[in-house]
Amino acid sequence: MALPATRPTAAFPTGAALSADQLLEIYYFLRLTRTLEERLVALYRQTKVIGGLFRSLGQEGESVASAYALERGRHKDILSPLIRNLGSLLVMGAQPVEILRQYMAKAESPTRGRELNVHFNDLEKGYLGQISHLGDMIPVMAGIALTFKLRREPRVGLVYIGDGGMSTGTFHEGLNLAAVQRLPLVVIGEYNHWAYSTPPDKQFAVTDLAEKAKGYGVQAVTVDGNDVFAVYEATRFAVERARRGKGVHFIEVKTYRRKGHAEHDDQHYVPKADLERWASENDPIDRYTQRLLGADMVAEGDLKDIDDRVRVEVDQATDACVDEPLPPAESALPGVYVDPPSADKLWFKAL
């Protein structure tokens, strides 16, 4: 995506800057996240997805912008995504075909069909799949950040946690440990207004989730989670600060979960007016696009080209894997038992 160097950059008060190429790359990841999820919905309706399908509709901005503030590549920063952070995985280098294979539990998926959706790792690319138990990735990522600190490596860990997940004991224990040890850890707290069907006033008594982090002596800010620029800038600042040995930083992103917990959930408990308002006035991709075009940072044609490219890439990734087989049943055993029984001794073969 080479562009004339004369195009303006987005400069921030903290000194961070994004070139026109980077602005377009962020747009690419936003579009890729949304388009890939839309493709997954189609596959889900064709019963090709195994297990649940979790959307990040309306939250793509915070996932992409926060991950984009990290250093990416071998032996660089590491993040741990939740089910609604597909965008962050794509930024770190996960391929659409890997995501599709994971959701369809294909034999060729990164976990060979043993795990689903975003539950997979690639530490070379810099991501560690989540443990399903909410809150547990905070101490796990604190451990990773402790490793960086002990080895004196200038690397940072970034971990996402939902407004519901912040009610777990492990969140508090992990954050306290990270604070006391002044670990290079950035925590993104997602205030998306729902945890399954539980709204904020039934979940916590603080106004801002940042208040919880401040209670542990952690630097904490609240930002508009649907403003890509604000999230990028806040994360960039936090990441650089953590890299300089200044300790943990918590960033609360205010956003909205515009779909149900998963695709099966009809959201009957969500006020329709709220959904409409967040969609029409506060869509992160629309806002980002308007800002880019309004400030003449990119040309409309460049965005259109990216839209086309994303469609082609998602089509090609789907074609590449949709008819692939599921793993053979025997393949579930190696890697689980030290001495797996031979195929002819398996109980289901004897039935």
Ligand X SMILES: Cc1ncc(C[n+]2csc(CCOP(=O)(O)OP(=O)(O)O)c2C)c(N)n1
220 binds ligand X (CB under 6 A): no
Supply the minimum distance, in Å, between the C-beta of residue 202 and ligand X: 12
162 binds Mg ion (CB under 5 A): yes
Which region among 109-117, 156-164, 219-227, 276-284 touches ligand X (by CB under 6 A)? Answer: 156-164
164 binds ligand X (CB under 6 A): yes
Q: How far apart are CA 229 and CA 81, in angstroms?
A: 20
Residue nearest to ligand X according to CB distances in the complex: 162
3-class secondary structure, 185:
strand
Site for ligand X in 81-100 (CB under 6 A): 82, 84
Pick from 77, 98, 163, 252 the residue near Mg ion by CB under 5 A: 163
Q: How far apart are CA 52 and CA 87, in angstroms?
A: 18
Pick from 113, 165, 260, 284 the residue near ligand X by CB under 6 A: 165
Supply the minimum distance, in Å, between the C-beta of residue 308 and ligand X: 31
Site for ligand X in 117-136 (CB under 6 A): 132-134
162 binds ligand X (CB under 6 A): yes
Nearer to ligand X, 84 or 212 (CB): 84
Supply the minimum distance, in Å, between the C-beta of residue 66 and Mg ion: 16
DSSP assignment of 52-92 equals -----TTTHHHHHHHHHTS--STTS-EEE--TT-HHHHHHH
241 binds ligand X (CB under 6 A): no
Supply the minimum distance, in Å, between the C-beta of residue 84 and ligand X: 4
Tell me how far apart the 2 most distant CA atoms of the chain are, in Å: 71
Neighbours of 329 (CB within 10 A): 11
Pick from 35, 168, 181, 267 the residue near ligand X by CB under 6 A: 168
- What end-to-end distance do the CA atoms of the chain give, in Å? 58
Supply the minimum distance, in Å, between the C-beta of residue 163 and Mg ion: 4
3-class secondary structure, 192:
coil
Neighbours of 68 (CB within 10 A): 22
Contacted entry of Mg ion, ligand X, none for residue 101, CB cut-off 5 to 8 Å set by kind: none
Q: How far apart are CA 158 and CA 155, in angstroms?
A: 10
Both structure tokens of 17: 């800057």
Pick from 31, 55, 236, 257 the residue near ligand X by CB under 6 A: 257
Site for Mg ion in 187-206 (CB under 5 A): 192, 195
217: left (phi over 0), alpha (psi -120 to 50) or beta: left
- Using a 10 angstrom Cβ sphere, with 0-12 exposed, 13-18 middle and 19 or more buried, the burial of residue 328 is exposed
195 binds ligand X (CB under 6 A): yes
Give the residue ranges of DSSP H helices in 81-201. 86-92, 96-103, 137-150, 169-180
Interface with Mg ion: number of residues (CB under 5 A):
5
Q: Site residues (CB under 6 A) for ligand X? A: 82, 84, 132-134, 162-165, 168, 190, 192, 194-196, 257, 261
Q: Site residues (CB under 5 A) for Mg ion? A: 162-164, 192, 195
